[in-house]
Amino acid sequence: MFENLSERLGSVFDRLTKQGALTPDDVRAALREVRVALLEADVSLPVARDFIKAVEEKATGQAVTKSVTPGQQVVKIVHDALVDVLKGEGEPEALKIDNPPSALLMVGLQGSGKTTTTAKLAKRLKDRNGKRVLMASLDTNRPAAMEQLQILGLQIGVDTLPIVKGETALQIAKRAKQQATLGGYDVYMLDTAGRLHIDEVLMDEVQAVRDAVAPRETLLVVDGLTGQDAVNVATEFDGKVGITGVVLTRMDGDGRGGAALSMRAVTGKPIRFVGLGEKMDALETFEAERVAGRILGMGDIVALVEKAQETLELEQAERMAKRFAKGLFNMNDLKGQLDQMLKMGGMQGLMGMMPGMGKMQKAAEAAGFDDRMLRRQIALINSMTKKERANPDLMQASRKRRVAAGAGLDVAELNKLLKMHRQMADMMKKMGKGGAMKQALKQMM
């Protein structure tokens, strides 16, 4: 499902993730494409617009600047925004069918998959919830539809109300209610008649049935492939008969997945289930996280990205720990640490995370150690030659003057940096011997 939408989004994000650093322009250009992809997938304009705005706000905030690979971060932000839109106000609660016999009204246009879905859901309620279910078709215009439900009932082992010729939909509904009460059923499902288009007669009939049985749930079945139309149908049905939820069918097809995105935002009604095929067990509960993953066409990319990131950082930390344990801690290593500190929210946050660093933290605070200082120190290191960085002991007076001038700073500042480097190198060496270094590095990564 969602092939079209996910393919488009997938290629947008591919381009993003392949780039190293990400500029706000990159993000904006990508989001323009996301917007086009959404509209082409038949997501309604206001929904697409709100969505892009939400992503843009998050993407231009600190989340991206702090992330190691901004492209992946954007994917995650888009994913989370999708989940938000799909979820609406919280997850849909379970079907209210705990008051036997509970009436469950199934409504929708002809051909939407209503009868199939009625049977699928009946099977699910029987198999998973242990409910005794009775199904009845109210489609008096189409005897074939009544027979279809009967056949499906036999197939899945769910009772159907015996067909009595000449009854009106309302009469059938009342008989179903009576039968459900007498027969000790937990749930009775009414498969109402469909029409090709919404019309007054149909709505009147559904209203009369609704008033007679007071359904606990009224589920609208819509064809997920029809995109924006599905949303319009839902809006109309909700206005006329009041629905408590939506079932999107044919989500196994590769059509426009936009209906799922717009549905919740436009109608305010939760998607309860999605139909994923013609078979009787091809019905899933709607889960925003899973659907968002499918829309992005990346399955569990978000989890994968997080995992990959972790592994990478662990490997890095272990490599560094090995170096430090051998007493190898040069200016490049220090620069790596300083960069990392900046990324981790500065000196204070970092020190707090490292065991045995309490003393140094106090000293750092006393020395007015802050992010500006981190940046100055990085500038000093950048101003050193390759050789000097690899071997800070080379730093004699003339070199010091050159390096400090190159960074636009005083030699005193450089001396502070060199002193700090020596202290850190000593400490790293000590910690490395006990294996504490590895621990500390893992924590700060």
Distances (CA, A) of 332 to 26, 288, 403, 404, 419: 30, 45, 15, 17, 15
Q: How many residues does the chain have?
A: 445
User: Is 194 annotated in some ligand binding site?
Assistant: yes
Contact positions with ligand GDP (CB under 6 A) in 263-282:
275-278, 282
User: Is 371 annotated in some ligand binding site?
Assistant: no
- Measured from the CB atom, the residue of 115 and 150 that comes closer to ligand GDP is 115
In angstroms, what is the minimal distance from the CB of 114 to ligand GDP?
A: 3
Contact positions with ligand GDP (CB under 6 A) in 178-217:
194
Give the CA angle between residues 221, 225, 228 to the nearest 5°.
85
177 contacts ligand GDP (rule: CB under 6 A): no
Q: In what order do the strands lie in the sheet with 245-249?
A: 159-160, 133-137, 187-191, 102-108, 217-223, 245-249, 271-275, 283-285
Burial class (CB within 10 angstroms; exposed 0-12, middle 13-18, buried 19+) of 233: buried
d(CA 307, CA 297): 18
- Measured from the CB atom, the residue of 96 and 279 that comes closer to ligand GDP is 279
Q: Which residues contact 330 (CB under 8 A, 6 or more apart)?
A: 389, 390, 391, 392
In angstroms, what is the minimal distance from the CB of 276 to ligand GDP?
A: 6
User: Is 44 annotated in some ligand binding site?
Assistant: no
Q: Which residue has the tokens 């039968």?
A: 179
3-state helix, strand and coil shares in percent for the chain, rounded to the nearest 5: 65, 10, 30
Among 84, 91, 127, 252, binds ligand GDP (CB under 6 A): 252
In angstroms, what is the minimal distance from the CB of 290 to ligand GDP?
A: 16
404 contacts ligand GDP (rule: CB under 6 A): no
Among 67, 140, 192, 249, binds ligand GDP (CB under 6 A): 249
- Measured from the CB atom, the residue of 282 and 411 that comes closer to ligand GDP is 282
116 contacts ligand GDP (rule: CB under 6 A): yes
Q: How many other CB atoms are there within 10 angstroms of residue 20's CB atom?
A: 7
Stretch that binds ligand GDP, among 46-54, 245-253, 390-398, 403-411 (CB under 6 A): 245-253
User: Is 250 annotated in some ligand binding site?
Assistant: yes
Distances (CA, A) of 350 to 108, 184, 432, 435, 440: 58, 65, 18, 19, 10
- Measured from the CB atom, the residue of 133 and 276 that comes closer to ligand GDP is 276
In angstroms, what is the minimal distance from the CB of 267 to ligand GDP?
A: 19
110 contacts ligand GDP (rule: CB under 6 A): yes
Note whether 300 and 75 are within 8 A (CB): no
Would you list the DSSP string of 370-402?
A: -HHHHHHHHHHHHTS-HHHHH-GGG--HHHHHH
d(CA 225, CA 271): 15
- Measured from the CB atom, the residue of 5 and 341 that comes closer to ligand GDP is 5
In angstroms, what is the minimal distance from the CB of 108 to ligand GDP?
A: 6
Residue sitting closest to ligand GDP (CB): 275
Q: What are phi and psi of 348, to 5 degrees?
A: -60, -50
153 contacts ligand GDP (rule: CB under 6 A): no
Partner residues linked to 220 by β-bridges: 107, 246
In angstroms, what is the minimal distance from the CB of 224 to ligand GDP?
A: 8
In angstroms, what is the minimal distance from the CB of 81 to ligand GDP?
A: 26
- Measured from the CB atom, the residue of 88 and 253 that comes closer to ligand GDP is 253
Among 114, 131, 294, 421, binds ligand GDP (CB under 6 A): 114
Contact positions with ligand GDP (CB under 6 A) in 350-369:
none
d(CA 41, CA 36): 8
Exposure string over 251-276, b if 16+ CB within 10 A, otherwise e = bbbebbbbbbbbbbbbbebbbbbbbb
137 contacts ligand GDP (rule: CB under 6 A): no
Stretch that binds ligand GDP, among 93-101, 110-118, 165-173, 389-397 (CB under 6 A): 110-118
Query: In the numeric block, which tokens belong to residue 373?
Result: 């200082």
User: Is 95 annotated in some ligand binding site?
Assistant: no
336 contacts ligand GDP (rule: CB under 6 A): no
Note whether 269 and 86 are within 8 A (CB): no
70 contacts ligand GDP (rule: CB under 6 A): no
Partner residues linked to 107 by β-bridges: 220
- Site of interaction with ligand GDP (CB under 6 A): 108, 110-116, 194, 249-250, 252-253, 275-278, 282
Binding residues: 108-115, 191-195, 249-252
Binding residues for GTP: 108-115, 191-195, 249-252
